[in-house]
């Protein structure tokens, strides 16, 4: 999923408990699922950001010189404006874009 296209709020809002227990019938299980998904999103975004910024890296021995690259600054600002990974995971859960499976409940024994 393209995380940059998710249109969610940038601030945390109060949510009802019933909305979080609709898919799992357990709020704590839902929070654990959202936590794991937020970690996945965060790792993905960090990897993508590092790949884009790596192109601008300058290998120099002098620590006194600081180079400012406007493109690099714009990329960093873009990623700073994105919603937090937790809010993205909640949006995916609320819009049924998140697939999860509990192996204990889905056993074929």
Over residues 61-77, the pLDDT tens digits come to 555 555 667 888 888 88
Over residues 1-30, the pLDDT tens digits come to 566 667 777 777 888 888 888 888 888 999
Q: Which long-range contacts (CB under 8 A, 24 or more apart) does 10-17 make?
A: 10/81, 10/83, 10/84, 10/87, 12/87, 15/90
**Nearest of 67, 33, 37 to residue 53 by alpha carbon:** 67
Distance CA 93, CA 105 (A): 19
Check if the beta carbon of residue 20 is closer than 8 Å to that of residue 30: yes
For the chain, give every domain's residue range.
Answer: 13-56+67-94
CA angle 92, 41, 8 (to 5 degrees): 40
């Amino acid at each position: 999923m393209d995380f940059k296209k998710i249109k969610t709020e940038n601030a945390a809002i109060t949510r009802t408990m019933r909305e979080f227990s609709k898919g799992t019938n357990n709020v704590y299980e839902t929070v654990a699922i959202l936590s794991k998904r937020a970690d996945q999103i965060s790792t993905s975004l960090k990897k993508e950001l590092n790949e884009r910024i790596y192109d601008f890296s300058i290998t120099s021995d002098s620590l006194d010189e600081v180079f400012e690259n406007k493109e690099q600054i714009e990329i960093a600002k873009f990623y700073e404006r994105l919603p937090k990974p937790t809010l993205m995971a909640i949006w995916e859960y609320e819009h049924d874009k998140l697939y999860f499976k509990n192996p204990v409940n889905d056993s074929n024994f």
